[in-house]
Structure 1
Amino acid sequence: MAEDTCLAGKLYRADGVKEFAMNILFLAHRIPYPPDKGDKIRAYNEIKYFAAHHTVDVCCLLDDPADEKYIEPLSKMCRRLEVVKINAVLKKALSLSSLLNPKVSCTEIYFYDTRLQKAVNRLIAENTYDLIFIYCSSMDKYVRRVKNVPAVIDFVDIDSDKWMQYAKHAPFPKNIVFKIEGQKLARLEHAIAERVKASFLVTEKEVEFFGGNQTVHSVPNGIDTVFFDPAKTPADPKLQSERYVEFTGAMDYFPNEDGVVFFCEEILPHIHKTDPDLKFYIVGRNPTDKVKALASDHVVVTGGVTDIRPYIKYAQLAVTPLRMARGIQNKILEAAAMGQAVVTTSQAHEGLAFEPGRDIIVEDDPKRFAQAVVGLLNNPEKRSEIASSALKMLKKHYSWEANLSVMDSIIRSSFSK
């Protein structure tokens, strides 16, 4: 047992690793509740974990009026909560001014608000924090000049590379704007990584892609297998009577929009040649006009739903035909937890511990993707084998408690460096 010593009133082991309950200031770019989409799911679980082991104050922005009702339940998870509401339309317009400034990104302008800055300054003045936890690069500006409190950042994904991917698929002149945004964010991300004690990404591949810094670590996402349990999912006779494959996700998110359009236009026609009655369910809130236009006799666009689990449970299988993706796709973890086989692309599969052909089917070519779907539809035994194997891998690699305890240990160790 390492001998303990006391430094500045805090407990250290002889190896320099702190072992104490920290006071944490957690900064999030959006209200991390409910855990119903990628960035919210990870932030929610981090706050939940830290609140169980430490003391957490949360500062965040709210850019969707529909999320106002979630302020109260989030406030019960932390000691103090500061939420600043912003006008998304106005912010998007203001963020265009970044085109005239070679040093500031559109993302930084969108997520910066002087009212939240004042709230952050006040909390830092009134409290003694052991750690500032920055969730996403857009929140760094609020604490960039704070020198007396150590900070770490969870980049989650490499946002700069996302914008570069968008640029490849966007028409002129959007592709130029997206490329410039990607370049600005890349400079910002590396500057932050050099300044903070530790940085986190979702996958080891992203850490390798980011490169150049030994303080960048991978901490995978997890999945709540108690909630995502088909046995505990409410029955839905209507869905049970349907024959469909499903896709879940926030449908105002460009990669999701692109993915379902790609599926409907280039994959589904091949499937319908041999399985003309199969339906495709697009499940997720805020569908764009482009997504709504996909609705037909064989394509169902649900919009927001109160519970996505029945839509996953009663599907024949799940599809994630994403051509742009970073990090770990929560929709794949959710489908696996619900006992579904998944057909996906190499982009969406990247970073997952699932073995292609054993735990998941991976195809990029539209025709081969369609053949994989039809093959599984016609082979329930194979479908069940893949789903069962994926569930085993899920339970082994994607526990929030286990993964976030690793993050906690890395943070503690970083204090001694």
Structure 2
Amino acid sequence: MELLFLAHRVPFPPDRGDRIRSYHILRHLAARARVHLVAFSEGAGEVAPPELAGLASVTLIPRTRSQAVAALAALTKGLPVSLTAFASAGMRRAVAARRADAVYCFSGQMAQYLPAGVPAVMDFVDVDSAKFAGFAEQGSPPMRWMMRREARLLGAFERRVAARVDASLFVSAAEAALFREGGATGRIVPVENGIDAAAFAPAAVTDVAAEGALLVFTGQMDYRPNVEAVRWFAQDVLPALRRRYPTLRLAIVGRAPTAAVQALASPAVIVTGAVADVRPWLAAATVCVAPLRLARGIQNKVLEAMAMARPVVATAAAAEGIDHAGTLRVADDADAQVAAIAALLDDPAQATALGAAARARVIERYDWTARLAPLDALLGL
């Protein structure tokens, strides 16, 4: 089979949420079909990683349109910014040049390039329109209007795409249900994220990043929900914990920290920026935290921490997509976060047992091979 794989970002390295999912799916499909990857690059300087050469033919189209230009085009044309930001004549030509028996389209921004008359699976991952609706609830008046507009227009586009493709995929059953509740029709299927439990294993790490009581948060640190999460935690949760544990520190581990994140750096807060390997930081964590107020689907940061046998304290939003069966602690407000984390800091045996249960749950429930098996039938592989 000739399979066209469309992606809004090069699916390598698998070091952030979207790339983790797209890379493992690409690898799964490449073992079963001849895959042609057509993706956007982050500017003209990005080249195809050699690690992808054995998986697919690779065509990269530079994405150079600024957010301001995309917003102006969206307002002029009555379109969502999410689409105009990824509008490209070069991408249209690249897709048209590839013959395909089927298409796997990763991320809603790429749905505008689905070729007519070719069987297609659309991987929305999350309900992006719902994410913008959530942003609208939190924004100031001008931004609130823009986010509501984006949620409305993008939601209508998502529903049109779902009605024409062979299947629409989401990262969790909760996201799939949310999409249906919003009026979407067609075949809507949850295909969950997995974890490479052999790579994310305590025994795989020899260098531990830090010593002493340490809380660790991992993620892309220019992503708004991550930024808001660490700011809230550092301001509303960490001070109360530090009064009880004066040497306790928080490590914010992830690339591209915004100015707001960098401003959190202090003797109590480590801001690492990009790291070559997140696993030593997870191994060093006394507790991993996921205090996201707005989260969609399955949080890879939580799966990775669980796989590393670390105790995790997460908000309900961050834990919702994961079938954790009680192997992490859920706490929403600041007082609940303080109590949950303090209980683990005070009882190392409980923390160790919770981490061991979390790793066992990940191995049982989130192996990539099992998670991606439904793709074979959906694409006729």
Alpha-carbon distance, 1:226 to partner: 1.5
Q: Which runs of 5+ in 2 are unaligned?
A: none
Secondary structure of 1:164's counterpart equals helix
Q: Distance in 1 between matches of 2:235 and 2:44?
A: 33
Task: Check if 1:292 corresponds to 2:269.
Answer: no
Give every structure 1 segment of 4 or more consecutive aligned residues whose post-TM-superposition deviation is greater than 3 Å.
none
Q: Distance in 2 between matches of 1:233 and 1:101?
A: 52
Task: Check if 1:72 corresponds to 2:46.
Answer: no
Secondary structure of 1:252's counterpart equals coil
Q: Which runs of 5+ in 1 are unaligned?
A: 1-21
Alpha-carbon distance, 1:108 to partner: 0.6
Q: 2:375 maps to which residue? A: 407
Q: Residue 84 of structure 1: which of 49, 61, 65 is its match? A: 61
Q: Distance in 2 between matches of 1:275 and 1:259?
A: 21
How many pairs align?
378
Alpha-carbon distance, 1:74 to partner: 2.1
Cα shift readout 1:180-222 (whole Å, capped 9, x = no counterpart): 1111110011100000011100111111111143500001100
Secondary structure of 2:285's counterpart equals coil
Q: Distance in 1 between matches of 2:373 and 2:2?
A: 16
Is the CA contact 2:162–2:186 (under 8 Å) kept in the aligned structure 1?
no
Alpha-carbon distance, 1:70 to partner: 5.2
Secondary structure of 2:194's counterpart equals coil
Alpha-carbon distance, 1:240 to partner: 4.1
Counterpart AA for 1:394: V
The within-5 A match list for 1:266-345 is 266-345=236-315
Alpha-carbon distance change, 342 to 64 in structure 1, aligned in 2, over 3 angstroms: farther
The within-5 A match list for 1:167-206 is 167-206=136-175
Q: Distance in 1 between matches of 2:332 and 2:374?
A: 33
Counterpart AA for 2:70: S
Task: Check if 1:45 corresponds to 2:15.
Answer: no
Q: Distance in 2 between matches of 1:208 and 1:39?
A: 21
Secondary structure of 1:53's counterpart equals coil
Larger CA deviation: 386-395 vs 281-290 = 386-395
Q: 2:189 maps to which residue? A: 217
Alpha-carbon distance, 1:130 to partner: 1.7
Q: Residue 36 of structure 1: which of 11, 15, 20 is its match? A: 15
Counterpart AA for 1:369: Q
Is the CA contact 1:130–1:149 (under 8 Å) kept in the aligned structure 2?
yes
The within-5 A match list for 1:15-164 is 22-63=1-42, 68=46, 71-78=49-56, 80-87=57-64, 90-101=65-76, 103-124=78-99, 129-143=100-114, 146-164=115-133
Counterpart AA for 1:370: V
Is the CA contact 1:98–1:105 (under 8 Å) kept in the aligned structure 2?
no
Cα shift readout 1:11-50 (whole Å, capped 9, x = no counterpart): xxxxxxxxxxx22100000111100000111000010000
Alpha-carbon distance, 1:103 to partner: 3.7
Q: Distance in 2 between matches of 1:92 and 1:282?
A: 26
With normalisation by structure 1, the TM-score equals 0.87
Q: In angstroms, what is the RMSD of aligned CA positions?
A: 1.6
Counterpart AA for 1:72: P
Alpha-carbon distance, 1:99 to partner: 4.7
Secondary structure of 1:235's counterpart equals coil
Counterpart AA for 1:62: S
Quote the sequence identity (%). Answer: 34
